[in-house]
């Protein structure tokens, strides 16, 4: 059967009510429209309900399956993310990272007497990780929640950028801020800021690599 | 006579991987229709089993997905990943061995 725009919207709203994530909605909606197009019956609201119950086991089954899928796929994303971080210590990324670490060590020792201004580096790390997290926070809780369904992909991106910002906030308030909870020497503070820079750099590059390699090609 | 669906539950992943090895990329509904047409309606692949199996294979990294806008809606296509291409060979070998053992157990003579 050929469906009118109104009928398609009706199907969309019914499918939307039985799914939580955007990925599931897109897949179920496409399937139901394919089924309806192939059917020789007259369109009705109950026919859509019947297809959802017959093919997917109804709302309960759909929600149960998408919860399992969301858990599995998020675990897989985190496994890939961890793999990208580990790759930073393997060929061909290893030399570039070693050069970065060595140059910070050199900088630290050459400025031991004069002192090293860590504020710009500290601020730049904070800005980058907070902006990244803020972007995905807005995407996850504002754009995805208010304008469309939440997406498994953006939930993962928001969670993974939150790790970076949580670590930075912890380091900042405990050790790096002028009124830090734990008071440490200026030299130790410099070591911490430079180490944090190296970690952030590896973390960001792993995130970008994962995004370009995997996330970008996965369903939105 | 339609085949009992319980009998092919254990080989569902092999069927999916093999279909994708032969068809490069497919979407969910297309897979169900392909199975129906190959088996001339004797074997009906239920969507309630197909999608969870596809999602499991995707999470295991054996399948890759892409989306495309078709008739104003998003369509999710599945294709084999590099790991999936290797796995399909193992799965097919396993299935063939299983069928051979089953034939021995049930004293069936192959028809080929």
What CATH number does residue B81 fall under? Answer: 1.10.10.10
- What is the 3-class SS of B33-99, one letter each residue? HHHHHHCCCCCCCCHHHHHHHHHHHHHCCCEEEEEEEECCEEEEEEEECHHHHHHHHHHHHHHHHHH
> Each residue of B91-108: pLDDT tens digit?
999 989 988 888 888 876
For the cut 60, the answer to whether the pLDDT of residue A182 exceeds it is: yes
Q: Which domain holds residue B50?
A: 5-105
Q: What is the pLDDT of residues B17-58, one digit of tens each?
A: 999 999 989 999 999 999 999 988 888 788 888 999 999 999
Of A23, A31, A73, the CB nearest to B59: A73
* Shortest CA distance from A76: residue in chain B: B59
Residues A43-68 as b/e (b if ≥16 CB within 10 A, e otherwise) read eeeebbeebbeebbbeeebbeebbee
Please spell the DSSP secondary structure of B15-34, one letter per residue: HHHHHHHHHSEE-HHHHHHH
Closest-CA distance of chain A to residue B49, Å: 8
Compute the nearest-CA separation of B36 from chain A (Å). 14
Nearest CB partner across the interface for A72, out of B29, B59, B71: B59
Which residue in chain A is spatially nearest to B54 when comparing CA positions?
Answer: A69
- Count up the domains in chain B and report the number: 1
Give the dihedral of Cα atoms A132, A212, A163, A26; nearest 10 deg. Answer: 90
Q: Which residues of chain A neighbour B75 with C-beta distances below 8 Å?
A: 26, 30
CB contact under 8 A, A30 and B76: yes
Inter-chain residue contact A219 with B60, CB threshold 8 Å: no
The interface predicted TM-score (ipTM) is: 0.85
Q: Give residue A216's pLDDT band: very low, low, confident or very high (50, 70, 90).
A: low
Nearest CB partner across the interface for B67, out of A68, A73, A219: A219
Nearest chain A CA: its distance from B29 CA (Å): 6
Considering the domain boundaries, does residue B68 fall inside one? yes
CB neighbour class for B79 (10 Å; exposed up to 12, middle 13-18, buried from 19): middle
CA B14 – CA B20 distance, rounded (Å): 10
Question: Does residue B74 lie within any of the structural domains?
Answer: yes
Rounded CA separation A145/A138 (Å): 9
> B96: Cβ–Cβ under 8 A, 6 or more apart, which residues?
none
Tens digits of residue pLDDT in A4-14: 999 999 999 99
CB contact under 8 A, B48 and A56: yes
User: What is the three-class DSSP state of A177?
Assistant: coil
Say if residue A220's pLDDT is above 50. Answer: no
Residue-level pLDDT at A13: 92
User: Chain B: nearest CA to A185, how far in angstroms?
Assistant: 47
Q: Where are the alpha helices (H) located in chain A, listed in sequence order?
A: 5-16, 22-38, 45-56, 58-87, 94-110, 119-138, 152-171, 186-213
Minimal C-alpha gap between B105 and chain A (Å):
34
Mean pLDDT of A110-138: 87
Nearest by Cα to A195 from A208, A176, A178: A176
Residue whose token pair is 């995004």:
A211
Task: Cis check for the bond before A92: say yes or no (omega within 30 of 0).
Answer: yes
Task: Determine which of B26, B45, B51, B70 to mutate to test the interface with A (most A C-beta atoms within 10 Å).
Answer: B51
Q: Which pair of structure tokens corresponds to residue B9? A: 């539950």
């Amino acid at each position: 059967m050929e469906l009118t725009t109104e009928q398609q919207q009706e199907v969309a709203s019914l499918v939307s009510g039985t799914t939580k994530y955007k990925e599931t909605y897109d897949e179920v909606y496409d399937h139901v429209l394919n089924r309806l197009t192939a059917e020789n019956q007259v369109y009705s609201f109950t026919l859509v309900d019947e297809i959802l119950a017959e093919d997917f086991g109804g709302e309960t089954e759909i929600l149960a399956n998408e919860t399992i899928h969301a858990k599995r796929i998020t675990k897989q994303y985190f496994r890939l993310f961890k793999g990208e971080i580990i790759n930073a210590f393997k060929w061909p990324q290893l030399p570039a990272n070693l050069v970065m670490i060595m140059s910070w060590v050199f900088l630290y020792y050459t400025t031991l007497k004069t002192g090293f201004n860590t504020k710009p580096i500290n601020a730049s790390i904070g800005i980058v990780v907070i902006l990244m997290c803020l972007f995905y926070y807005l995407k996850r809780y504002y754009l995805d929640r208010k304008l469309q369904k939440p997406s498994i992909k953006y939930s993962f991106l928001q969670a993974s950028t939150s790790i970076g910002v949580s670590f930075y906030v912890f380091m900042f308030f405990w050790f790096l801020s002028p009124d830090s909870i734990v008071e440490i020497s200026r030299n130790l503070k410099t070591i911490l800021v430079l180490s944090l820079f190296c970690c952030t750099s590896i973390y960001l590059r792993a995130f970008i690599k994962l995004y370009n390699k995997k996330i970008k090609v996965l369903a939105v | 006579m339609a085949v009992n669906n319980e009998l092919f539950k254990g080989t569902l992943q092999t069927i999916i991987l093999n279909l994708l090895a032969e068809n490069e990329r497919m979407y969910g509904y297309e897979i169900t229709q392909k199975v129906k047409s190959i088996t001339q309606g004797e074997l009906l692949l239920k969507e309630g089993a197909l999608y969870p199996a596809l999602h499991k294979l995707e999470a295991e990294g054996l399948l890759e997905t892409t989306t495309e806008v078709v008739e104003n809606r998003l369509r999710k296509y599945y294709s084999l990943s590099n790991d999936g291409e290797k796995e399909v060979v193992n799965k097919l070998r396993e299935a063939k061995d299983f069928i051979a053992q089953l034939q021995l157990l049930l004293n069936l003579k192959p028809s080929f």
